[in-house]
A and B are shown apart, each in its own frame.
Chain A
């Protein structure tokens, strides 16, 4: 049996990836960890960052904005809040958005609800920017 890892990446809106791969590197809250076929069962919280899917020598990087990884003998399931393929992201655009979000944060001093939204946006974009490197 050629050992492959059954990997599924799902977000609340749809299933983004489902298939067999060689290895997945997950940005866990306690540190990154790689998942190979026949990994021991683990459940971990994911922090926003880059998820690396390695298959046949090629690597795909996907940004996940928080979520959970569940490793069972059947494979790896990642429940992501949001997931974007990093190949589809334009760095200049992210930086522009980050700047806008930071401005929003500065303008939102009066209202708690607004500040919370802005803080969330800034944290997300900063993680996205970091994942691009």
Chain B
């Protein structure tokens, strides 16, 4: 049986851990609110962009379409972009995303495709490196961004574009976590290249008038598609960010609760031990007195 002092030390250490997890939970809650707000604020742009793209994609067809929309006509080399967080202590958040990506990768490999991986976020890179170290062709470090902005998305977008233009891959799929609620983040796959016109968005009713394009449809689409892609990346980054804080919050909440349980258990054992010690001493004194 450990001594009373050991018990006291353990209780104190669990208590300070609990204080830390409690603080982290509150910080995550505050940041989650902000991340959610910015994910929401970015939605109008994404919606309107989707409408414009749907509209344009129906006007430009066939060989005139820019490479981003048309694709390379093959699907042999697949780029898998895995977006995860830069930091841990968020429960199974990153593992979930990596697992979804891994399933897709195994499927692609089984189908005889060549897989390349671009990791965004440190945690996913670390997990993937263990499994597919030779397949990782790039890593985007966003740890310098305290808040996700369009610049962060631009960096990721530029990287993907650069790889695409140098013919590194045919199809790019993005893996991230869609934020559904604080306790539920859904790993999601999104095909980036060739770009898909959004579903369920109808071109506006022009009431018989014809669209005019300045300069031309092709040029506009050419300029618009990278932005559409960046917009999708930004949206994914923001959703991921919100999901990360949500996951961190619930993980820290659990940790705080577990620490509380542990303190209760330890206190109980501490008190029992203390009483046992007192009883033992009393017995010693009494039996000593009786012996006289």
- The residues of A with any CB-CB pair to B shorter than 8 Å are 8, 10-15, 18, 28-30, 40-45, 68, 70, 72-74, 77, 79, 81
Q: Select one of B48, B206, B231 contacting A41, CB under 8 A.
A: B206
In the assembled complex, B242 has its CB within 8 A of some CB on chain A? no
**Are B44 and A73 in contact (CB-based, < 8 A)?**
no
Say yes or no: B38 contacts A43, CB within 8 Å. no
Q: How far, in angstroms, from A28 to B48 measured CA to CA in the complex?
A: 19
Q: Inside 8 A of B212's CB, which chain A residues have their CB?
A: 40-43
State the majority secondary structure of interface residues on B: helix
- Is residue B183 contacting chain A, with contact meaning CB distance below 8 A? no
- B153 close to chain A: CB less than 8 A: yes
Asked whether, in the complex, the Cβ of B206 is within 8 Å of the Cβ of A13, the reply is no
Taking the complex as formed, is B224 at the interface, i.e. its CB lies under 8 A from any CB of chain A? yes
Is B289 on the interface with A (CB-CB < 8 A)?
no
Whole-angstrom distance between the alpha carbons of A45 and B221 in the complex?
A: 10
Q: Which of B22-64 contact A (CB under 8 A)?
A: 38, 41-42, 44-45, 48-49, 51-52, 55-56
Q: How distant is the Cα of A45 from the Cα of B51 in the complex, in angstroms?
A: 16
Known contacts A40-B212, A41-B209, A44-B213; A73/B204 CB under 8 A: yes
Q: Does B205 contact A (CB under 8 A)?
A: yes
Contacts of B153 in A (CB 8 A): 12
A13-B38, A13-B150 known; A44 vs B214 contact (CB < 8 Å) = yes
Beyond A41-B206, A68-B224, A70-B48, 12 additional pairs, beta carbon < 8 A: A8-B44, A13-B38, A13-B149, A29-B215, A41-B210, A42-B211, A73-B207, A77-B51, A79-B45, A79-B52, A81-B150, A81-B227
**Complex interface: chain A residues within 8 A of B207 (CB):** 73
The one of B52, B209, B210, B227 in contact with A77, judged by C-beta atoms closer than 8 angstroms, is: B52
Query: Does B230 interact with chain A (Cβ within 8 Å)?
Result: yes
Q: How far is the CA of A10 from the CA of B46 in the complex (A)?
A: 9
B48-A12 in contact (CB<8A): no
B interface residues (Cβ-Cβ under 8 A, vs A): 38, 41-42, 44-45, 48-49, 51-52, 55-56, 149-150, 153, 204-207, 209-215, 219-220, 223-224, 227, 230-231, 234
Chain B residues, Cβ within 8 Å of A30: 214-215
B213 and A12 within 8 A (CB): no
Q: Could you list some 20 contacts between A and B, CB below 8 A? A: A10-B48, A12-B150, A12-B231, A15-B41, A18-B44, A30-B215, A42-B212, A42-B214, A43-B55, A43-B211, A43-B212, A43-B214, A45-B214, A45-B219, A70-B52, A72-B206, A77-B51, A77-B52, A79-B49, A79-B52
A77 near B48: Cβ-Cβ < 8 Å? yes
Residue of B nearest to A82 (CB): B150
Return the contact of A29 from the options B45, B150, B209, B214 (Cβ within 8 A): B214
- Please give me the residue from chain A that is nearest to B37 by CB atom: A14
The 9 closest A-B pairs by CB, nearest first: A14-B41, A44-B214, A12-B150, A15-B44, A72-B204, A10-B45, A42-B212, A41-B211, A30-B214
Which residues does chain A contribute within 8 Å of B204, judged by CB atoms?
A: 41, 72-74
Contact A40/B48 with A12-B234, A68-B220 known, Cβ cut-off 8 Å: no
The residue in B214, B223, B234 that gathers the most chain A C-beta atoms within 10 A of its C-beta is: B214
Q: How far is the CB of A30 from chain B (nearest CB, A)?
A: 5
Nearest chain A residue, comparing its CB with the CB of B221:
A43
* Contact with B209, one of A14, A28, A73, A79 (Cβ below 8 angstroms): A73
Specify which chain B residues have a CB less than 8 angstroms from the CB of A45 in the assembled complex: 214-215, 219-220, 223
**In the complex the two chains form, what is the Cα distance from A122 to B55 in whole Å?**
34
In the bound complex, residues from chain A placing their C-beta under 8 Å from that of B45 are 10-15, 79
Q: Is the CB of A13 within 8 A of B42?
A: yes
Whether the pair A68, B52 counts as a contact (CB closer than 8 A) is yes
Give chain B nearest CB distance to A87 CB in angstroms.
Answer: 22
Q: Is the CB of A12 within 8 A of B215?
A: no
Contact A40 B209 (CB under 8 A): yes
Cα-based distance from A79 to B56 in the complex (angstroms): 14
